[in-house]
């Protein structure tokens, strides 16, 4: 059984020092959040980025906020404008922003003010390899990660890539918040299993909020 599988809605479960799973925290506002994601995607279409080695990411993504995370053969970085359109990224939706701040506060990180939201679109088979989020200018701020739609297996490792990763089932509305001593922990997502969710169909949406500047 995956770690924490079957935890009740509303449970606040410690992952490690400074890291928490908030079960069902985003479930109630999910419909409004999904509408905001649709608006962001219509303004800045999701795309499969290239990593510096030239491989294509299996997860499609776009951004919202004053900065957006981009990747290509030149490397990883944040940019103020969408490279495809030359236009500023769409604003973070008000429901999304309120939810991210509330989740951070619930996990002990008061006054979280994200300026970037990575919007990830997982179809069955898509995955995210183990990585750390260290391109941000403010590593004192936490990461807030919201899951909507199909369930996923979140991989939670350690401070070295070789550390064994635990497997954590994330369901619709679950939120993971990590910072402090766990801010640079390696994490990822196992290949998404096929399925159908009543709110999103054959799709999982992941919103990752960061303080990039």
pLDDT tens figures, 51-79: 999 999 999 999 999 999 999 999 999 99
Output phi, psi for 98, to 5 deg.
-60, -40
Q: What is the pLDDT of residue 9?
A: 73
- Which CATH number is 86's domain given? 2.60.120.590
Q: What is the pLDDT of residue 7?
A: 54
The domain tally of the chain equals 1
User: For 29, how many CA atoms within 13 A lie in the half-sphere containing its CB?
Assistant: 17
Residue 3 has pLDDT above 60, yes or no: no
pLDDT tens figures, 94-111: 999 999 999 999 999 999
Decide if 122 is inside a domain: yes
Decide if 41 is inside a domain: yes
CA distances from 55 to 50, 188, 193 (A): 5, 17, 22
Q: Residue 110: how many CB atoms within 10 A of its CB?
A: 8
The pTM score is: 0.95
Decide if 53 is inside a domain: yes
> ∠ at Cα 132 (68, 90), nearest 5°?
15
Decide if 35 is inside a domain: yes
Domain that holds residue 31: 12-210
Decide if 180 is inside a domain: yes
Position 2 confidence tier, pLDDT thresholds 50, 70, 90: very low
Sign of CA dihedral 177, 181, 184, 185: negative
Decide if 83 is inside a domain: yes
Decide if 185 is inside a domain: yes
Residues 178 and 104: beta-carbon distance below 8 Å? no
Decide if 3 is inside a domain: no
Sign of CA dihedral 162, 69, 33, 177: positive
Task: Report the C-alpha gap between 210 and 104 in whole angstroms.
Answer: 11
């Amino acid at each position: 059984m995956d770690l924490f599988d079957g935890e009740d809605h509303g449970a606040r479960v410690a992952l490690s020092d400074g890291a928490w799973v908030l079960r069902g925290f985003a479930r109630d506002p999910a419909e409004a959040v999904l509408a905001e994601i649709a608006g962001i995607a219509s303004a800045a279409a999701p795309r499969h980025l290239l990593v510096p080695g030239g491989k294509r990411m299996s997860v499609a993504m776009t951004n919202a906020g004053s900065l957006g995370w981009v990747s290509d053969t030149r490397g990883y970085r944040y940019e103020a404008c969408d490279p495809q359109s030359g236009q500023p990224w769409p604003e973070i939706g008000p429901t999304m922003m309120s939810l991210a701040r509330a989740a951070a506060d619930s996990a002990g990180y008061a006054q979280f003010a994200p300026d970037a939201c990575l919007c990830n679109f997982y179809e069955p088979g898509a995955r995210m390899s183990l990585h750390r989020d260290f391109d941000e200018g403010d590593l004192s701020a936490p990461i807030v990660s919201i899951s909507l739609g199909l369930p996923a297996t979140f991989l939670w490792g350690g401070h070295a890539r070789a550390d064994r990763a635990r497997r954590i089932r994330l369901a619709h509305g679950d939120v993971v918040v990590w910072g402090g001593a766990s801010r640079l922990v390696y994490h990822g997502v196992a290949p998404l299993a096929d399925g159908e969710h009543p709110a999103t169909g054959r799709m999982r949406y992941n919103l990752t909020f960061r303080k990039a500047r």
